[in-house]
Structures are given as structure tokens and as C-alpha cells.
A and B are shown apart, each in its own frame.
Chain A
Amino acid sequence: MQTKKIALLSVLGFTALLMGVGIWMWNKPHRNVQEEEPAFVGKTDAFSQFVQSANDSVKASLLNQVVELQGQVAEIERSGDSTVALRLLSAEADVLCSFIGKSAVELPELRPNQAVQLRGIFTGYEAGLPGFDMLPTITLNRCALHQSE
């Protein structure tokens, strides 16, 4: 009888544990760029030059990594309450940072030419589109302001 009780409790406990892990996995939060160690820290132009000169395997290893950039705001565009698109000044490339959710809501008013330090997840580099003159584009996602002056 005692053995049966222990077995039943073990099964119930294991099931509860599995359910708990499942619920946690399903609701796990999105990545927080402030809590991750950046793979690159530096100025916007330095990052643009680094990405453009890097070979494909280096670029690929940088994908989905957090980077921290110091630069100046070129342009800022809010769409709705929870999305902000910010472009950093760079002669080398258009560096586009997308702020989503809380980091967008809490983003203070920024002006063109204002110095900023931000972190974001590097999502890609594009040299341009065939037949169209465009500056290369670097995209960062889930950006958050790290420090602004």
C-alpha cells in the first residue's frame, strides 16, 4: 500500500514538473539585450566597416548576437505606441534599429544628431538591391537604449 502511494505521488510529481517546464517554455520571455554580453562594442562606423569587410562565415557567426553601438541619431520614426525605427548616422551603411514593446514605450524623445549608445540583436547585412543605388543596410532588432547623453 505504502509503495503504491509513493509510486502515485512520484507520477503526479513528475507530471506536475513536466507541466511546469512546458508552461515556462511556452511563456518564456523574449531575449533581453541588456542582460547579454555583446559580441561587438564600438562605434557605428567601425561596426559597419567590420561587417562589410567580414567574410561570410564571420558575418554568419555574428548573426543573432547582441551588439552595442555608440553613434548619432540620423532619423527616428514611431509607428503606434510600441514600435520605433531608428537610423544611426553612418557614412558606411544605413544602420537600422528596431525598438519593440517596452523598450519602445520607454524610449525618451530623441533628436537627430543626438549621441546614443544602444544594444540590439544583429539580424542581417544587405549590400543593396540589384539595379538600385542604395547604401548597404545593417539591421538590428529588439534594440534598447543603453545610455544617451
Chain B
Amino acid sequence: MKNLIAALLTLSIATSGMAQKFTTKTGQVSFFSGTALEDISAVNKQALSAVDLSKGEVAFVVQILGFEFEKALMQDHFNENYMHSDKFPRATFNGSFQKAAPLTWPGSHQVELLGKLEIHGVSKEIRVPATLAVKGEEAQLNLKFSIKLADYGIKNDKVKNISETIEITVKTSMKKS
């Protein structure tokens, strides 16, 4: 009996140490810019997202050409004049959770992510708040943060119809992989 309990305990410890990886290829990344001239928003629903809860690692990749705007003209300007998506086709984030709490516990956790955000070929370290919810085989990770266009070398000096600070929202619903 003692041997059986010991074996179960060992198995339980070993299992808890195993990789807790969750991924999706249909994460949603949207952004919003509001000025007196006009409001601009776009969404991309094909973001690759992954978290490894045992290591506390997070990664996102989104294709710039995949952002959809209400107006075709805005979409053209976004790709050609601002993001230069032919030269810099993707935006990435690689980071880690800055909280030592047991993230694998079921429930919702307020966490902080620290990592490198690369947009327009410029990489910068950012620290952003996030909500992580783990339930069985699924994990949801949601972020909302702002970036300054100038920090990423995105020039907005022709028409001032885009705000200097853009609000970015990331919503992901990932499955255990």
C-alpha cells in the first residue's frame, strides 16, 4: 500500500512538472487609434499564440497583411505607407510571465508579461498586464496595452489622422497541445 501511495505521489509530481503548453492559430489582435480627424481600427483573427505554463513563456506572431480595416483605402495606406508590410511582414512578441504564482491552477489570474515586442523591424522590451484563465484543456490569455508609433520607427508626419499612441488588444483562446 505504501509503495502504491509513493508511486502515485511520484506520478503526480512528475505530471505537474510536465509541459503545460497551450496554443491557437486563431488568436485575435486588434488596434485602435482615435483622433479628432477620425477613428481607425483593424483586426487580425489569425494570430499564432502559445503559452508554456510550466516554463512561464509566452509567444505571439501576427501577419501585418492580415489586418482587416473597414475601408480598403485605410488598409492600403496602413500596409504601404506606415507598416511597410512587404519589408516587415510580421509582428512578434516573445516574453514570460512575471508572477511566480502557480499559473496552472484553474481560475483567472492577473499577471504581468515582460518581453520583446517587434513591430516594423524594431524590437523593444515591454511590460504589460494580462489576464490568464486556465480551465481544463483550455487557457485564455487577454492583453490590452498601448504603444507609441515613434518607438517603432513608424512615421506619422504626412497627415495627422493617426494618434501617436495606439491601443492594442489581444484575445486568445488556446487549447492544450
User: Is A123 touching B59 in the complex (CB atoms < 8 A)?
Assistant: no
- Measured between C-beta atoms, what is the minimum distance from B171 to chain A in Å? 11
User: Is A123 touching B26 in the complex (CB atoms < 8 A)?
Assistant: no
User: Is B73 touching A28 in the complex (CB atoms < 8 A)?
Assistant: yes
Chain A residue total in the interface (Cβ 8 A): 32
User: Is A141 touching B65 in the complex (CB atoms < 8 A)?
Assistant: yes
User: Is A96 touching B59 in the complex (CB atoms < 8 A)?
Assistant: no
Could you tell me which residues of chain A, from 1 to 39, have a CB within 8 Å of some CB in chain B? 25-31
Question: In the complex, which residue of chain A has the Cβ closest to the Cβ of B43?
Answer: A83
Quick one: CB contact mask for B152-173 with A, threshold 8 Å, 1 for yes?
0000000000000000000000
- In angstroms, Cα B94 to Cα A29, docked, is 36
Decide yes or no whether A85 CB sits under 8 A from chain B.
yes
User: Is B89 touching A132 in the complex (CB atoms < 8 A)?
Assistant: no
Question: In the complex, which residue of chain A has the Cβ closest to the Cβ of B26?
Answer: A85
Q: Which residues of A contact B90 (CB under 8 A)?
A: 124, 126
- Measured between C-beta atoms, what is the minimum distance from A77 to chain B in Å? 7
User: Is A129 touching B45 in the complex (CB atoms < 8 A)?
Assistant: no
Decide yes or no whether B81 CB sits under 8 A from chain A.
no
* Contact status of A131 and B52, CB under 8 A, knowing A123-B65, A124-B65: yes
Could you tell me which residues of chain A, from 47 to 82, have a CB within 8 Å of some CB in chain B? 60, 63-64, 77, 79
User: Is A129 touching B66 in the complex (CB atoms < 8 A)?
Assistant: no
Q: Which residues of A contact B26 (CB under 8 A)?
A: 77, 85, 96
Contact for A137 among B48, B59, B72, B89, CB less than 8 A: B48
* Contact status of A28 and B52, CB under 8 A, knowing A130-B59, A132-B59, A141-B66: no
User: Is B52 touching A98 in the complex (CB atoms < 8 A)?
Assistant: no
* Contact status of A83 and B65, CB under 8 A, knowing A94-B25, A96-B25, A131-B52: no
Q: Which residues of B contact A27 (CB under 8 A)?
A: 71
**Which 7 pairs of residues, A with B, have the shortest CB-CB distance?**
A124-B63, A123-B65, A129-B59, A123-B66, A132-B50, A30-B72, A123-B63
Residues of A that sit less than 8 Å from B by CB? 25-31, 60, 63-64, 77, 79, 83, 85, 94, 96, 98, 100, 121, 123-124, 126, 129-134, 137, 139, 141-142
Q: List 26 A-B contacts (CB under 8 A).
A: A26-B71, A26-B73, A30-B72, A31-B72, A60-B89, A63-B65, A63-B85, A64-B65, A64-B86, A83-B45, A98-B45, A121-B65, A123-B63, A126-B61, A129-B23, A129-B48, A129-B59, A131-B50, A131-B55, A132-B21, A132-B50, A132-B59, A134-B48, A134-B50, A141-B46, A141-B66
